[in-house]
Amino acid sequence: MTETQQRIAGTYDPPVPAVQEKAEEYAGLLRNRMETQRAEDISRLELIDVMKKHNVEACEIDGYDVKLVHTEGDKIKVAKKKELEPSE
């Protein structure tokens, strides 16, 4: 006769190895995204400051239109330029 251990409230069984692996992969990607988001936020604020300092409202870089948007707090709007379709 084998005894089973009683479950303790708030605990869970260890995950299946494949689940554990994918969960760790996802958590790593999430951490990377959060770090990238912080760097993007800093870069955006620096871009706003530089654009305001040089009185630049818009520019184009690498196929993207970058515009300074004046609201309660200044923002940057970035949109991929639309490809012109060749006329037949």
DSSP characters for 13-77?
PPPPHHHHHHHHHHHHHHHHHHHHHHHHHHHHHHHHHHHHHTT--EEEETTEEEEEE-SSS-EEE
Count CB atoms within 10 A of the CB of residue 70: 9
List, in sequence order, every residue forming a beta bridge with 79; answer none if it has no partner.
65
Q: Is residue 71 part of a domain?
A: yes
Domain containing residue 27: 17-80
Query: Coil, helix or strand for 84?
Result: coil
Greater confidence (37 vs 7) lies with: 37
Q: How confident is the model at residue 31, as a pLDDT? A: 93
Domain count, the chain: 1
For residue range 16-70, what is the model confidence (pLDDT) as tens digits?
889 889 989 999 999 999 999 999 999 999 999 999 999 999 999 888 999 998 8
Q: Is residue 11 part of a domain?
A: no
Q: How confident is the model at residue 73, as a pLDDT? A: 77
| CA-wise closest residue to 56 among 39, 41, 70, 42 | 70
Q: Is residue 66 part of a domain?
A: yes
Q: Is residue 31 part of a domain?
A: yes
Q: How confident is the model at residue 1, as a pLDDT? A: 46
Q: Is residue 50 part of a domain?
A: yes
Q: Is residue 67 part of a domain?
A: yes
Q: How confident is the model at residue 85, as a pLDDT? A: 65
Q: Is residue 52 part of a domain?
A: yes
Instruction: Report the distance separating Cα 2 and Cα 6, nearest Å.
Output: 13
